[in-house]
Amino acid sequence: MFTLLGCGSKPLDKKYHIQTMWYDIRVGSTVKNDSINHELCKLAMADNATKSVKNEDFTYQELIDQGYELLAKTHTEEYADSLREVYSKP
């Protein structure tokens, strides 16, 4: 059962790994949201570095979500929500 779940998992549900990050996000993203997903991950990674939090404890999707939360703090929640809505649609 665990094998089936592992095979069916989405690329963005993988744990962060520094050597494969760019590839993993690209594979898990669409052409439409690839760039923003990379930027949101970088934003979250920088924030985690300032707090001495290991990025390896998070999946790519968790880092992307954290990036949206950070955007909501530096801009407005509405701005972050509107970006999430635009870039989450296929």
pLDDT of residue 5 exceeding 90: no
What are the backbone dihedrals phi and psi of residue 48, each rounded to the nearest 5 degrees, phi first? Answer: -65, -35
Residue 90 has pLDDT above 90, yes or no: no
Amino acid at 9: S
10-47 confidence digits (pLDDT tens): 889 999 999 999 999 999 999 999 999 999 999 999 99
**The pLDDT value given to residue 6:** 43
Between the two ends of the chain, the Cα-to-Cα distance in Å is 30
What is the model's pLDDT at position 88? 86
> Could you tell me if 88 and 33 are in contact, meaning their C-beta atoms sit under 8 angstroms apart?
yes
